[in-house]
Structure 1
Amino acid sequence: MELRTVSADDWRAWRSKRPAALTKAPGTFGSRLHEWVNAAGDRWSEGVSIPGAIDLLAFDADGDAPVVDPFV
Protein backbone atom coordinates (compact mmCIF):
# COMPACT_ATOMS: atom_id res chain seq x y z
CA MET A 1 0.00 0.00 0.00
CA GLU A 2 1.17 3.50 -0.82
CA LEU A 3 -0.07 6.87 0.45
CA ARG A 4 -0.16 9.65 -2.13
CA THR A 5 -0.93 13.32 -1.86
CA VAL A 6 -3.75 14.13 -4.24
CA SER A 7 -4.22 17.28 -6.29
CA ALA A 8 -6.97 18.80 -8.41
CA ASP A 9 -6.08 16.35 -11.18
CA ASP A 10 -6.99 13.45 -8.87
CA TRP A 11 -10.49 14.64 -8.04
CA ARG A 12 -12.20 11.60 -9.60
CA ALA A 13 -10.24 9.18 -7.40
CA TRP A 14 -10.90 11.45 -4.42
CA ARG A 15 -14.63 11.54 -5.20
CA SER A 16 -14.73 7.75 -5.45
CA LYS A 17 -13.49 7.31 -1.86
CA ARG A 18 -14.24 10.45 0.15
CA PRO A 19 -17.97 9.72 0.74
CA ALA A 20 -17.08 6.40 2.39
CA ALA A 21 -14.60 8.14 4.69
CA LEU A 22 -17.18 10.79 5.61
CA THR A 23 -19.71 8.03 6.34
CA LYS A 24 -17.35 5.86 8.36
CA ALA A 25 -15.81 8.61 10.50
CA PRO A 26 -17.94 11.76 10.21
CA GLY A 27 -16.48 13.44 13.29
CA THR A 28 -12.96 13.23 11.91
CA PHE A 29 -13.47 15.71 9.10
CA GLY A 30 -14.43 19.36 8.85
CA SER A 31 -17.06 18.65 6.22
CA ARG A 32 -20.10 16.40 6.15
CA LEU A 33 -21.35 13.87 3.63
CA HIS A 34 -24.46 15.89 2.72
CA GLU A 35 -22.20 18.76 1.61
CA TRP A 36 -20.50 16.57 -0.98
CA VAL A 37 -22.87 13.83 -2.08
CA ASN A 38 -24.29 15.75 -5.08
CA ALA A 39 -21.33 18.06 -5.69
CA ALA A 40 -20.23 18.75 -9.26
CA GLY A 41 -16.77 17.82 -10.52
CA ASP A 42 -15.42 21.36 -10.23
CA ARG A 43 -16.32 21.42 -6.54
CA TRP A 44 -14.41 18.17 -6.00
CA SER A 45 -11.45 19.58 -7.88
CA GLU A 46 -11.51 22.74 -5.75
CA GLY A 47 -11.85 20.60 -2.63
CA VAL A 48 -8.46 19.01 -3.20
CA SER A 49 -6.88 22.35 -4.09
CA ILE A 50 -7.27 24.13 -0.76
CA PRO A 51 -3.99 25.92 0.07
CA GLY A 52 -2.22 24.31 3.01
CA ALA A 53 -4.42 21.20 3.03
CA ILE A 54 -2.87 17.75 2.80
CA ASP A 55 -5.23 15.30 1.13
CA LEU A 56 -4.07 11.70 0.95
CA LEU A 57 -5.33 8.53 -0.66
CA ALA A 58 -4.06 5.04 0.02
CA PHE A 59 -3.46 2.98 -3.11
CA ASP A 60 -3.35 -0.78 -3.41
CA ALA A 61 -0.13 -2.75 -3.87
CA ASP A 62 -0.32 -2.32 -7.65
CA GLY A 63 -0.63 1.44 -7.20
CA ASP A 64 -3.72 1.58 -9.37
CA ALA A 65 -6.83 1.53 -7.20
CA PRO A 66 -7.40 3.82 -4.23
CA VAL A 67 -8.67 2.03 -1.15
CA VAL A 68 -11.15 3.39 1.36
CA ASP A 69 -9.63 2.18 4.59
CA PRO A 70 -6.01 1.04 4.59
CA PHE A 71 -6.52 -0.57 8.02
CA VAL A 72 -9.27 -3.01 7.01
Structure 2
Amino acid sequence: MHPPDDDAWLYEHSRALGDRIRTERIRRRITQEQLHLGAGISRNVLQLIEAGRANPTFHTLLRIARVLDVPLTDLVR
Protein backbone atom coordinates (compact mmCIF):
# COMPACT_ATOMS: atom_id res chain seq x y z
CA MET A 1 0.00 0.00 0.00
CA HIS A 2 1.34 3.42 -0.99
CA PRO A 3 0.93 6.50 1.20
CA PRO A 4 -1.49 9.16 -0.01
CA ASP A 5 -0.06 11.93 -2.19
CA ASP A 6 -1.10 14.59 0.30
CA ASP A 7 -2.00 14.96 3.94
CA ALA A 8 -5.67 15.87 3.41
CA TRP A 9 -6.71 12.60 5.05
CA LEU A 10 -4.85 13.63 8.22
CA TYR A 11 -6.83 16.85 8.45
CA GLU A 12 -10.09 15.00 7.86
CA HIS A 13 -9.31 12.65 10.76
CA SER A 14 -8.25 15.55 12.98
CA ARG A 15 -11.55 17.32 12.30
CA ALA A 16 -13.49 14.12 13.01
CA LEU A 17 -11.61 13.65 16.30
CA GLY A 18 -12.35 17.24 17.30
CA ASP A 19 -16.01 16.78 16.40
CA ARG A 20 -16.26 13.64 18.55
CA ILE A 21 -14.64 15.40 21.51
CA ARG A 22 -16.92 18.45 21.19
CA THR A 23 -20.03 16.29 20.71
CA GLU A 24 -19.22 14.20 23.79
CA ARG A 25 -18.42 17.30 25.84
CA ILE A 26 -21.74 18.89 24.94
CA ARG A 27 -23.63 15.63 25.45
CA ARG A 28 -22.24 15.42 28.96
CA ARG A 29 -22.91 19.11 29.57
CA ILE A 30 -19.28 19.89 30.25
CA THR A 31 -18.05 23.36 29.34
CA GLN A 32 -14.77 24.00 27.57
CA GLU A 33 -13.62 25.61 30.82
CA GLN A 34 -14.36 22.44 32.81
CA LEU A 35 -12.73 20.21 30.22
CA HIS A 36 -9.54 22.19 29.77
CA LEU A 37 -9.08 22.63 33.51
CA GLY A 38 -9.85 18.97 34.24
CA ALA A 39 -7.51 17.77 31.50
CA GLY A 40 -4.74 20.15 32.50
CA ILE A 41 -4.46 21.79 29.09
CA SER A 42 -4.96 25.38 28.00
CA ARG A 43 -8.30 26.52 26.70
CA ASN A 44 -6.62 27.55 23.45
CA VAL A 45 -5.24 24.04 22.94
CA LEU A 46 -8.68 22.53 23.59
CA GLN A 47 -10.25 24.91 21.08
CA LEU A 48 -7.65 23.96 18.48
CA ILE A 49 -8.23 20.25 19.13
CA GLU A 50 -12.01 20.62 18.82
CA ALA A 51 -11.52 22.58 15.59
CA GLY A 52 -9.29 19.82 14.20
CA ARG A 53 -6.32 22.19 13.96
CA ALA A 54 -4.05 20.64 16.59
CA ASN A 55 -2.08 17.44 16.87
CA PRO A 56 -2.75 16.39 20.47
CA THR A 57 -0.38 14.04 22.25
CA PHE A 58 -1.49 10.64 23.41
CA HIS A 59 -1.36 11.86 27.01
CA THR A 60 -3.58 14.84 26.19
CA LEU A 61 -6.14 12.56 24.56
CA LEU A 62 -6.05 10.25 27.59
CA ARG A 63 -6.69 13.22 29.88
CA ILE A 64 -9.59 14.43 27.75
CA ALA A 65 -11.12 10.95 27.64
CA ARG A 66 -10.81 10.66 31.42
CA VAL A 67 -12.61 13.96 32.04
CA LEU A 68 -15.31 12.98 29.54
CA ASP A 69 -15.51 9.55 31.19
CA VAL A 70 -15.28 7.71 27.87
CA PRO A 71 -12.83 5.13 26.57
CA LEU A 72 -10.13 6.70 24.42
CA THR A 73 -11.16 4.37 21.62
CA ASP A 74 -14.55 6.13 21.45
CA LEU A 75 -12.78 9.35 20.58
CA VAL A 76 -10.18 8.06 18.13
CA ARG A 77 -12.20 5.49 16.24
TM-score of the pair, normalised by structure 1: 0.34
- Which structure dedicates a bigger proportion of its chain to helix? 2
Greater RCO, 1 or 2 (C-alpha within 8 Å, sep 6+)? 1
- Which structure dedicates a bigger proportion of its chain to strand? 1
Which structure has the larger Rg?
A: 2
TM-score of the pair, normalised by structure 2: 0.33
